[in-house]
Amino acid sequence: MSRKLWTIGITGLLLAVLFWYEQREIHALTGAASQATQEIIAAIRTGEMGTAQEKARALDLLWDERAGRLEMMVDHGSTDDVRYALSRLIAALEGGDKTSMLIYAGELEGSVEHVYERQQVTMENLF
């Protein structure tokens, strides 16, 4: 009996540590992505397309580097939505269409928020 309790306790502790790590990493990644998205939108609005393009490419590299480690814990479709929005935004920045840039930047912002919201511990997400 004592051995079973130890096994359950250690397993529970391990799951709690993994849960904490997942929440910390997701919060850090989505926070950085949200900040970068706001900077991109500000750069587009002020006409600094070079800066916007540079920040979008940096965010793309960051997302590819860090989201891959989380995809075992995070809804893969949500992380892909961020990648697709980033790809469309970068293409719009390269094409020079300001309206499309703002549309895709807004889509990116929503996709990043969705990843964060889906991983928060709420009654809605638990059930």
Looking at per-residue pLDDT, the higher value among 15 and 58 belongs to 58
Per-residue pLDDT reduced to its tens digit, 115-127: 877 766 555 555 5
Please answer whether residues 109 and 41 qualify as being in contact, where contact means their C-beta atoms are separated by less than 8 angstroms.
yes
CA-to-CA separations, 72 to 22, 76, 120, 126, in angstroms, rounded: 10, 8, 16, 18
d(CA 39, CA 15): 36
Mean pLDDT of the chain: 85
Question: Domain-by-domain residue ranges, the chain?
Answer: 24-126
Asked if residue 40 has pLDDT above 80, the reply is yes
Residue 57 pLDDT grade (very low, low, confident, very high; cuts 50, 70, 90): very high
What is the value of pTM for the model shown?
Answer: 0.79
pLDDT, tens only, 17-31 = 887 888 888 888 889
- pLDDT of 73 higher than 80: no
- At residue 64, the pLDDT reads 87
- Which CATH entry fits the domain spanning 24-126: 1.20.120.290, 3.40.50.880, 3.30.70.1350, 3.30.56.10? 1.20.120.290
Asked if residues 62 and 25 have their Cβ atoms less than 8 Å apart, the reply is no
